[in-house]
Structure 1
Amino acid sequence: MNAQTLEQLVMLWMVNDIPARMVFAGKRWRVTDMPTRIRDSIWSVPIEKPHPLYGWRFQGTDDAGESYVFDVYKGERGWPVHNTYA
C-alpha cells in the first residue's frame, strides 16, 4: 500500500455525523466502506490544545471506480486530507 501525506482541504458531507461523500482533487468521492473514527494518538500533525485532534479513515470511490483510503481530520478551517493510500 502506498501512502501519500497531504494537507489539502476537502468538502466533506456527513450523514448522522459519519462521512458519506466528499470533493477532493476536483473529483466527487463516495464513501464506500464503514468509516473508522481515529483519535489524536495516531496523527503526525500538531495537536491544538485544548481541542483534541480527531478524524476519520475511510475508502472513497470516484465516478470512474477508482478507490483510495483517506485519512481526514477536523482542522480550524475545515477537513484537511492528511494521508491517502492507494
Structure 2
Amino acid sequence: MQRTMEPAEVWTSATGVPERLVWRAQRFRVDDTPTPLVGPAEWWLAFAGNDPGAGRAPLAITGWRFQATSPEGDTHVFDVGHDGTHWHVLRVFD
C-alpha cells in the first residue's frame, strides 16, 4: 500500500459514483462496484466537542475505494477523496 495525496481527475456517474480516473498521466476505468468511504459529516464538526448523546455523529461520504484498470492492464485499488475543489488519490493498493 502506498499512502499518497496526489492530484487526480475523476469522472463520476450522475449519482456521483466514480467511473474513470487519470492518475500520473495514466487513464484507468473503474471495473468493480465502488465502496463509499465515510466519516463524520462536515457540518457536524462545529459540534464535535459535544456529546452526541445516544448513537454517534452523522456520517457522510468522504471518498471512494474502487479497483480500476488501465488500457495496458495495470490494475490498482484506489482510495480517492474530493476536497471541495479537486480530487486526490489518497492510497493505492497493488
Q: Normalization by structure 2: what TM-score?
A: 0.74
Q: Does 1:64 align with 2:72?
A: yes
Question: What is the distance in 2 between the residues matched to 1:12 and 1:38?
Answer: 16
Q: 1:82 aligns with which of 69, 73, 90?
A: 90
After the TM superposition, which parts of structure 1 deviate over 4 Å for at least 4 consecutive aligned residues? none
User: Contact 1:53–1:73 (CA<8 Å) still a contact in 2?
Assistant: no
- What RMSD in Å do the two structures reach over aligned CA positions? 2.0
How far is 1:40 from its partner? 2.0
Q: Cα deviations across residues 43-71 of structure 1 (Å, max 9, x unaligned)?
A: xxxxxx53766000000100111100000
Q: Cα deviations across residues 13-63 of structure 1 (Å, max 9, x unaligned)?
A: 01131100011011000001000011126xxxxxxx537660000001001
Question: What is the distance in 2 between the residues matched to 1:19 and 1:76?
Answer: 15
Q: How many residues align?
A: 78
For residue 2 of structure 2, what is the aligned residue in structure 1? 4
Structure 1 residues 84 and 32: alpha-carbon distance in aligned structure 2, compared to 1, 3 A threshold: same
Larger radius of gyration: 2
Amino acid at match of 1:26: A
